[in-house]
Structure 1
Amino acid sequence: MAGASLLTLLDDIATILDDVAAMSKVAARKTAGVLGDDLALNAQQVSGVASERELPVVFAVAMGSFKNKVILVPMAMLISAFIPWAITPLLMFGGLFLCYEGFEKVYHSLTHKRAPVIDDDAVVAKAKADIEDLAAFEKEKIKGAIRTDFVLSAEIIAISLGVAAHMDLMGQFLTLCVIAIVITVGVYGLVAGIVKIDDLGLYLAQRKPSGIGHKLGLGLVSAAPYLMKILTFVGTIAMFMVGGGILTHGIHVVSEWILHAETLVSQVSVVGDVLGLLTPSVLNALFGVVAGGLAVLLMNGVTKLLPAKD
Structure 2
Amino acid sequence: MAGGLAALLDDIAVLAKSAAASVDDVAAAAGRASTKAAGVVIDDTAVTPRYVHGFTPDRELPIVWKIALGSLRNKILFILPAALLLSQFLDWMLTPILMCGGVYLAFEGAEKVYEAFGGHHEQKKDKTASALGPDAEKAMVKGAITTDFILSAEIMVISLNEVTDEPFVSRAIILAFVALVVTAVVYGLVALIVKVDDVGLKLIETHEGGAAASFGRFLVAAMPRVLSVLSTVGIAAMLWVGGHILLVGVDELGWHGPYELVHHLEESVHDAGGVGGVLAWCVNTLCSAVIGLLVGAVVVLIMHLVPKRPKKPENPENPEEPRQGDAAAGH
The TM-score, its normalising length taken from structure 2, stands at 0.83
Alignment of 1:11-30 (within 5 A): 11-30=17-36
8 Å contact kept, 1:97–1:243: yes
Q: Does 1:92 align with 2:96?
A: no
User: Among the aligned pairs, what percent are the same residue?
Assistant: 39
Q: Which deviates the most, 275-284 or 140-149?
A: 275-284
Q: Which has the larger radius of gyration?
A: 2
Could you tell me how far apart the structure 2 residues matched to 1:114 and 1:214 are? Answer: 39
Could you tell me how far apart the structure 2 residues matched to 1:270 and 1:87 are? Answer: 37
Could you tell me how far apart the structure 2 residues matched to 1:68 and 1:51 are? Answer: 26
Q: Does 1:41 align with 2:47?
A: yes
Structure 2 unaligned residues grouped into runs of 5+: 1-6, 315-331
Alignment of 1:104-143 (within 5 A): 104-110=111-117, 111-112=119-120, 123-124=127-128, 127-129=129-131, 131=133, 133=134, 136-143=135-142
1:164 matched to which residue of 2? 163
Shift of residue 290 of structure 1?
A: 1.0
Alignment of 1:286-297 (within 5 A): 286-297=290-301
2:266 matched to which residue of 1? 262
* DSSP-derived class of the 1:251 partner: helix
Structure 1 unaligned residues grouped into runs of 5+: none
Q: Which has the higher contact order (CA 8 A, sep 6+)?
A: 1
8 Å contact kept, 1:34–1:238: yes
8 Å contact kept, 1:94–1:158: no
- Aligned CA-pair RMSD: 2.5
Could you tell me how far apart the structure 1 residues matched to 2:125 and 2:223 are? Answer: 13
Q: 1:274 to 1:180 in 2, by over 3 A?
A: closer
The TM-score, its normalising length taken from structure 1, stands at 0.88
Deviations 1:173-223 (Å, cap 9, x if unpaired)?
111111100010111111111010110010011111211111110111111
Matched to 2:299, the amino acid is A
Deviations 1:100-155 (Å, cap 9, x if unpaired)?
1111122133313795885xxxx32xx42452x3xx21111111111111111111
Q: Size of the alignment, in residue pairs?
A: 301
Shift of residue 302 of structure 1?
A: 7.4
Matched to 2:116, the amino acid is S
1:275 matched to which residue of 2? 279
Q: Does 1:243 align with 2:242?
A: yes
8 Å contact kept, 1:19–1:171: no
* DSSP-derived class of the 1:165 partner: coil
Could you tell me how far apart the structure 2 residues matched to 1:90 and 1:230 are? Answer: 30
1:72 matched to which residue of 2? 79
Q: 1:112 to 1:295 in 2, by over 3 A?
A: closer
